[in-house]
């Protein structure tokens, strides 16, 4: 896999590519016809709730029948039997503890408890759908212009995007894990800043991938830092979405909904917080499981990826950060907003980086199998931590203050 292809897949894995926002404005107020269509979509998305809760921030969480969740509206999952837990669980290698891990079971306010036989999901609102349309209008979920560049020339247009990551593409990957340092960077309405861990497989035009991590994205989550997921089976053409905005992800947890607000967050030169995530393929069923802090959140069934990759594992793993900004604005901070050279307590990191090999064995990647990438070192950097570097065996420091503006391209 050459450098150009690696960079493109890396971008696709960390965030769906975004075109110039100024060229594709979305009406803040939809027409009556559009509203009716969105209301119809809401009826399909929001399944009947056995119990509902509303937080102080106005978010509503529903307890729905595990057998009647949105995932099973997907035509490939009509006859799918819910797996309550994976049949195989990786035995990850223990690592040094230098930060405090957040407890995923304490993220929702006290008193929110779903009954047996149900799962917890965030209720989607009309405003959520309007914001989703806004995301599409500025280019999310549509990396067509990048594929066009790849086929027409060697120059890769990364307009508006900046990233600092660590990538593994040495051999088959059956899973990845990492502890993602939590920060709450400031962004404007059309900007995005995130930390991610991802796997992918296949050529760019048919890329199958799953990304998990945290994201600050006002259009998607209104404010602050939230747990996010994204999947696709065809290079973001017709399949996939964030969280549960479309059928696909099978929720099994009664306590950890996708899109949940994450807290507490790290303090510069103070207490550091992290969340531990793992993404692995069940060796018996082939499903891809998301585990957060040792708790099974849910999975993407293997059938979603039949004929498009990820059925027999992935060939790319990635950890790090990315930001997006319209070219009319200076790019926002990534991670803590500070460069890796400032080190622990000041720079953002992903530590405890490991992979599962094709046999399901946890491995600490060898130095020659991973490589750090930076799209614009003037604004963001990444630093690979390995072997004798303290305080971890394998990790990546990443981030920076931002301030980039204009068109970015890489050869």
User: Which among 44, 46, 3, 1 has a CA at the least distance from the CA of 372?
Assistant: 3
Pairwise pLDDT comparison (408 vs 374), residue with the higher score:
374
Q: CA angle 56-62-64, nearest 5°?
A: 170
Inside any domain, residue 326: yes
Number of structural domains (the chain) is: 1
Inside any domain, residue 132: no
How far is Cα of residue 292 from the mean position of the Cα atoms in its chain?
13
Inside any domain, residue 34: no
Inside any domain, residue 38: no
Strands (E), 217-341: 226-232, 241-242, 250-251, 273-281, 288-292, 295-300, 316-324
Helices (H), 15-98: 32-45
Q: What is the pLDDT of residues 156-209, one digit of tens each?
A: 345 677 889 999 988 899 999 999 999 999 999 888 899 999 998 877 667 889
Inside any domain, residue 247: yes
308 Cβ neighbours under 8 A, 6+ residues apart: 202, 206, 208, 233, 234
Per-residue confidence band for 149, with pLDDT thresholds at 50, 70 and 90: very low
Partnered with residue 274 across adjacent β-strands are 101, 181
Inside any domain, residue 405: yes
Answering whether pTM is above 0.85, one says yes
Q: What is the pLDDT of residues 348-399, one digit of tens each?
A: 999 999 999 988 899 999 999 999 988 889 999 999 998 767 778 899 999 9
Residue 24: pLDDT above 70? no
* Domain span holding position 280: 3-24+47-79+88-123+138-410
Residue 83: pLDDT above 70? yes
Inside any domain, residue 31: no
Structure tokens at 385: 């931590």
Q: What is the pLDDT of residues 308-328, one digit of tens each?
A: 778 989 988 999 998 888 888
Inside any domain, residue 158: yes
């Amino acid at each position: 896999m050459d450098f150009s292809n690696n960079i493109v897949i890396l971008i696709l894995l960390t965030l769906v590519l975004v075109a110039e926002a100024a060229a594709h404005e979305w009406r803040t107020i939809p027409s009556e016809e559009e509203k009716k269509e969105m209301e119809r979509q809401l009826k399909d998305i929001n399944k009947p709730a056995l119990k509902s809760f509303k937080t102080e921030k106005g978010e509503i969480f529903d307890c729905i029948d595990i057998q009647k969740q949105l995932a099973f509206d997907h035509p490939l999952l009509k006859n799918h039997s819910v797996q309550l837990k994976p049949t195989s669980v990786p035995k990850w290698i223990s690592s040094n503890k230098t930060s405090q891990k957040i407890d995923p079971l304490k993220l929702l306010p006290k008193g929110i408890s779903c009954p047996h036989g149900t799962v917890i999901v965030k209720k989607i609102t009309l405003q959520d759908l309007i914001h989703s349309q806004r995301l599409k209008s500025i280019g999310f979920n549509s990396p067509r212009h990048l594929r066009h560049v790849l086929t027409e020339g060697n120059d890769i247009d990364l307009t508006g995007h900046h990233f600092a990551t660590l990538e593994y593409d040495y051999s088959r990957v059956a899973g990845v894990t990492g502890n993602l340092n939590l920060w709450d960077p400031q962004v404007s309405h059309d900007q995005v800043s995130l930390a991610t861990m991802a796997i992918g497989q296949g050529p760019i035009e048919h890329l199958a991938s799953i990304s998990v991590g945290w994201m600050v994205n006002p259009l998607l989550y209104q404010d602050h830092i939230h747990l996010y997921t994204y999947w696709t089976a065809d290079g973001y053409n017709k399949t996939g979405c964030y969280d549960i905005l479309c059928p696909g992800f099978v929720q099994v947890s009664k306590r950890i909904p996708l899109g949940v607000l994450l807290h507490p967050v790290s303090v510069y030169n103070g207490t550091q917080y992290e969340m531990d995530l793992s993404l692995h393929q069940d060796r018996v069923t082939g499903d891809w499981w998301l585990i957060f802090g040792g708790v099974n959140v849910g999975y993407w069934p293997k059938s979603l990826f039949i004929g498009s990759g990820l059925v027999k594992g992935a060939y790319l793993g990635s950890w790090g950060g990315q930001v997006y900004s319209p070219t009319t604005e200076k790019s926002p901070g990534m991670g803590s907003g500070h460069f890796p050279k400032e080190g622990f307590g000041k720079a953002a990191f992903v530590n405890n980086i490991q992979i599962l090999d094709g046999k399901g064995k946890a491995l600490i990647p060898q130095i020659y199998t991973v490589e750090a990438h930076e799209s614009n070192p003037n604004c963001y950097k990444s630093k690979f931590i390995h072997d004798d570097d303290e305080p971890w065996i394998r990790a990546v420091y990443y981030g920076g203050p931002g301030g980039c503006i204009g068109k970015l391209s890489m050869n």
